Chain A
Amino acid sequence: MKFTPAKVPEGINYSQSNPIKEFLLLGSGVLAVILLIVFLLGSLLDWSSKFIPFSYESAMAEPFVQEYVDEYGKGSAEVSQYLQGLADEIAPLMSLNEDIQLTLHYVDNETINGMATLGGHIFIFRGLLEKLPSENALVALLAHEIAHVKLRHPVKALSKGVSIALLMAVVSGQSNTDVTGLLSNTSQLAFLGFSRSQEQAADDEAIAVSQRYYQHLQGAHELFAILLAESEQATLDTISWFRSHPEVSARINNVAELANNNGWQQHGQSTPIPNHIIEQLAQDKAAFQLKKH
């Protein structure tokens, strides 16, 4: 047998296909699967969160609420009591679940913010309180936050946050797959924003409560007017109330629409915030600025 060496033909043993194309195809496939899982898990958690007892939520909230209050400083008890009193007055109008307890915290801080979190804890910042022209607006604000608690939005946000964090851990693999670590970070997750539809639902409740409490919607109009003015000159760090919240003008339209549909009176006499509260706020502001300088 005669052996004649021949040139090796190129490209038999490997594919000439474009690796970028393959990468995009496979990558988008994986991404689609992940998104589907996130969506399904999110919906499942969203649905199942109503079965989580409120007492669990309270227990979970305990440590970080304390931490949060310590960090931002405790506001004067007088204002806290006033807020608590108002909340206790409007809560019966909202048919809350029996086991839900509301705890109002007044936060002595410039931030224009108010928020509800796990365990029925509602934080109202001085920055926002100072802007409110009347008790009616304050009631609308409190009703909005209480509605979040009533509709279990914090726990829904938390379960969604945990599921996303879990997925991130799965996707990125490696060291941060520590599930116990995820839960210890609840303090971070507890302050996740609510979705637009949740804000919308809370708004609807707040408007209805304003109607029931005052027989007119003056407060809701005043509240949204402030938010509109603020959002126009908002910088991100002074104002966090708007992130994820619906467009303010849409919320104002919503008030008018609900009023028209239900035959509610839109405007009326507003009740001022008690003088001693306004004085207390002014004192706190002066003290705060003194501390800053």
Chain B
Amino acid sequence: MAQFQLEIAITLLLLFLGYIFGRHAEKSHFKSIIAREEQHQGLVAVSVKSPTQDDSTKPGMLVTGSVVISVDYFKRFLAALRTIFGGRVTSYETLLDRARREAILRMKEEAKKLNAERIYNIKLETSSISKSASGNIGAVEVLAYGTAVLRVNQ
């Protein structure tokens, strides 16, 4: 009985910590994402495969950006509850949204360093890390990559 109570107490503590810190991390991350997206808005990044005629003669280069974000205990618990009843796993939606946007931003930041004009054919890969290891908290990785067209010095 005492052991069970201890387990419950630990779970509640983890839920509380997960909620407080997860919430804080998410808020500040969104803030940073929104600010940086505005900053890099000028750099066009599209999923179009073939560059425009103008761009096709310029040098191209692979640019990537990847991010790994861990899910907090509260989110994971909520998602586990969801798997019982079904429905939208809303607790993971913000997580993936943040990961995708952060990955694209990192890709853009790399492209900017290379003095790129535009990025074509951008693609996103999503994978989960340590999904199978039981008892481990999961993390999601999103990789964004595309072909940057570099500015030609004239």
Contacts and interface: CB of A to CB of B under 8 A. Distances in A.
12 contacts: A5-B41, A8-B101, A13-B93, A14-B90, A15-B88, A15-B90, A19-B19, A20-B19, A23-B81, A26-B81, A30-B84, A172-B7
A279 interface: no
Contact of A26 (B37, B78, B96): B78
B9 to A, nearest CB: 12
B76 to A, nearest CB: 12
A174 interface: yes
B58 interface: no
A140 to B, nearest CB: 32
Interface of B: 3-4, 7, 19, 34, 37-38, 41-44, 46, 74-75, 77-78, 81-82, 84-85, 88, 90-91, 93-94, 96-97, 101, 135
Interface of A: 3, 5-8, 10, 13-15, 17, 19-20, 22-23, 26-27, 29-30, 168, 172, 174, 176
Given A3-B44, A5-B42, A7-B38, A19 B90 contact: yes
A13 B97 contact: yes
B4 A22 contact: no
A176 B7 CA distance: 11
Contacts, number: 56
**Main SS of the interface on chain A?**
helix
Given A13-B97, A14-B97, A172-B4, A22 B37 contact: no
A46 B41 CA distance: 69
A247 to B, nearest CB: 25
Contacts of A23: 74, 77-78, 81
A19 B97 CA distance: 16
B94 A14 contact: yes
A7 B90 contact: no
Contacts of A8: 37, 101
Given A15-B93, A26-B84, 20 more contacts: A3-B46, A5-B42, A5-B43, A7-B37, A8-B37, A8-B101, A13-B96, A14-B90, A14-B96, A15-B88, A19-B19, A19-B90, A22-B78, A23-B81, A26-B81, A26-B82, A29-B81, A29-B85, A30-B81, A172-B4
A53 B7 CA distance: 36
Q: In the A-B complex, list the 3 residue pairs whose CB atoms are closest, starting with the nearest.
A: A14-B93, A26-B81, A15-B90
Contacts of B82: 26
B12 to A, nearest CB: 11
B90 A174 contact: no
A250 to B, nearest CB: 27
Contacts of B93: 13-15
Contacts of B4: 168, 172
Contacts of A29: 81, 84-85
Contacts of A19: 19, 74-75, 78, 90-91
Contacts of B3: 176
Nearest to B101: A8
A174 to B, nearest CB: 7
A23 B84 CA distance: 13
A27 B74 CA distance: 12
